[in-house]
Amino acid sequence: MSKPKIVVLGAGYAGLVTTRRLSQKLSPEEAEIVLINKHNYHYESTWLHEVAAGTINPNQARFMLTDVVNPKKVRLIYDSVLEVKKDEQRVVLENSEVSYDYLVIALGFVSNTFGIPGMEENAFAITDIESSRLIAEHMEYKFAKYSTEENPNDDDLTILVGGGGFTGIEFVGELAEKIPQLCNKYDIDRSKARIINVEAAPSILPVFDDDLVSYAKKSLEDRGVEFRIGAPIKECTPEGFIVGDDKELIKAGTVVWTGGVTGNPVLAKSGFELVKGKVNVDADLRVPGEENLFILGDCSWVMDKESGRPYPPTGQLATQEGVVAADNITALLRNQPVQDFVFSNKGTVASLGITDGIGSILDGNKIRGKSAAAMKKVVDDRTLFMVGGPKLVLKKGKFRPF
């Protein structure tokens, strides 16, 4: 009899943790494991705002899958998933097809523009290595061009960021580090370059208490970030954002949308029932009514029984789900009971540049400043450890001993 085939789609946080744990738990005789990913590398999605600002090199935020997955235990396929045909237990890829006995969908997020006119066409988004690197290169080009022009346009030096959630605020924090460097490099007066964050809600970072939000806002303003709060973006044109009821145009040379994300469009293409772009899964992380189909990370909603609301989608959640999905698939193969997923919240930290941040950790203890920035690096290294083990932390970690 042929071995059961487990196919994992996506080598992000959830997919990579699932794959590595399956390969540790199962013997090669028990199952065949296949990991399918668009690229031959994993990238740290949680570091993408740094790549986009140009404060880290894109290569620091990625590593080859063969560095952390043993190709003798896992078949690696580098291809794009187009559709899952769940009734036929097969996955359609750009260049081939793969059948499965157990499937894990962990294809992550895409930017959500909520249908705002012109946003997709005219704004950059921070979604993967390529899109993030493009932002850094575009900004640098704008500054380089400005410095060579006879009649330069000061708007070219404005970076406009739409959305003051985690991604938008962490990104402007990095920009507050990078823009002075670019001004220095291209002999541009710092006061001419602007960083503007536009947020529709009455406050940035609504998950944090007011005192932490005030701290974050002041820290960023002191470093040159301007805020437009309570200012909904109505449209994006090639020149910038159109904001508010009076349709004010804010012009910029670099326009970035960080106003929200949703689940991978492969879910819709495959006919899954969607709630805000993602699939509601059962507590054991399976799709209701499907014995062999798990959906993880930013592609699914898992209900928090305590609050009655889904857990917020984060890298922390995705890695923890990967562990439980691997354990549940192993249990199913061995005819053992599956377990329910329970999120263990280690806290939330937002960086505000390299040496500043805010956070709420361990039963609501608040941290800010250098301690929060240090904690963010600890969290980043812990995640690296979960996806790749200690060698990866030594190679890519933010507290490297050399």
Catalytic positions, written as ranges: 170
Write down the residue that tokens 């237990």 correspond to.
89
Residue 160 touches ligand NAD, criterion: CB under 6 A: no
* Residue whose beta carbon is closest to ligand FAD: 12
Alpha carbon of residue 53 to chain centroid: 15
Residues, the chain? 402
Q: Decide which of ligand NAD, ligand FAD, none touches 179; Cβ closer than 5 to 8 Å per partner kind.
A: none
Residue 108 interface partner, choices ligand NAD, ligand FAD, none, CB cut-off 5-8 Å depending on type: ligand FAD
DSSP string computed for 110-167: EE--TT-TTHHHH-EE--SHHHHHHHHHHHHHHHHHHHH-SS--GGGGEEEEE--SHH
Rounded to a whole number of angstroms, the minimum distance from the CB of residue 386 to ligand FAD is: 11
* Sheet (strand 279-281) strand order: 279-281, 300-304, 309-310
CA 335 to chain CA centroid, Å, is 35
How near is the Cβ of 245 to ligand FAD at its closest, in Å? 30
Greatest CA span in the chain, whole angstroms?
Answer: 75
Place of tokens 């805010």: 358
Question: Does 198 participate in binding ligand NAD (rule CB under 6 A)?
Answer: yes
Q: Which does residue 106 bind out of ligand NAD, ligand FAD, none, counting CB within 5 to 8 angstroms by kind?
A: ligand FAD
Q: Which is nearer to ligand FAD, 156 or 170 (CB)?
A: 170
CA atoms within 13 A on the CB side of 284: 17
**CB 27 to ligand FAD: min, Å:** 26
**By CB under 6 A, which span of 97-105, 301-309, 329-337, 345-353 interacts with ligand NAD?**
345-353
Residue 341 sits in the site that holds ligand NAD (CB under 6 A): no
Nearer to ligand NAD, 15 or 259 (CB): 259
In the complex, minimum distance from the CB of residue 198 to ligand NAD, in angstroms, rounded to a whole number: 5
Q: Which does 163 bind (CB under 5 to 8 A by kind): ligand NAD, ligand FAD, none?
A: ligand NAD
Nearer to ligand FAD, 157 or 318 (CB): 318
**Out of ligand FAD, ligand NAD, none, which partner does residue 13 contact, by CB within 5 to 8 A per kind?**
ligand FAD
The HSE-up count of residue 266 (CA atoms within 13 Å, CB side) is: 24
Q: In whole angstroms, what is the distance from residue 302 CA to residue 311 CA?
A: 6
CB of 373 to ligand FAD, least distance (A): 12
Q: Please say whether the beta carbons of 169 and 201 come within 8 A.
A: no
Looking at the Cβ atoms of 199 and 284, the one nearer to ligand NAD is 199
Single out the residue of 302, 320, 323 nearest to residue 312, CA to CA.
Answer: 302
* CA terminus-to-terminus distance, the chain: 51
The residue from 258, 319, 320, 360 that contacts ligand NAD (CB under 6 A) is 258
Per CB under 6 A, residues contacting ligand FAD are: 10-15, 36-39, 42, 45-46, 48-49, 80-81, 106-109, 126, 128, 167, 170, 264, 266, 297-298, 313-316, 318
* Backbone torsions φ then ψ of 21, nearest 5 degrees: -70, -40
| Contacted by 81, from ligand FAD, ligand NAD, none: CB < 5 to 8 Å by type | ligand FAD
Partner from ligand NAD, ligand FAD, none contacting 176, C-beta within 5 to 8 A by type: none
The CA R_g of the chain, rounded to the nearest whole Å, is 22
Residue (of 8, 120, 17, 134) closest to 75 by Cα position: 8
Q: What are phi and psi of 143, to 5 degrees?
A: -70, -40
Site for ligand NAD, residues 80 to 109, rule: CB under 6 A? none
Give the span between the Cα atoms of 244 and 198, in whole angstroms: 10
Interface of this chain with ligand NAD, residues 268 to 327, rule: CB under 6 A: 312-314
The DSSP H or E segment spanning 74 is strand 74-78
> Least distance (Å) from ligand FAD to the CB of residue 58?
13
Contact 376, 361 (CB under 8 A): no
Binding site for ligand NAD (CB under 6 A): 116, 162-168, 170, 198-201, 232-233, 258-261, 312-314, 348-350
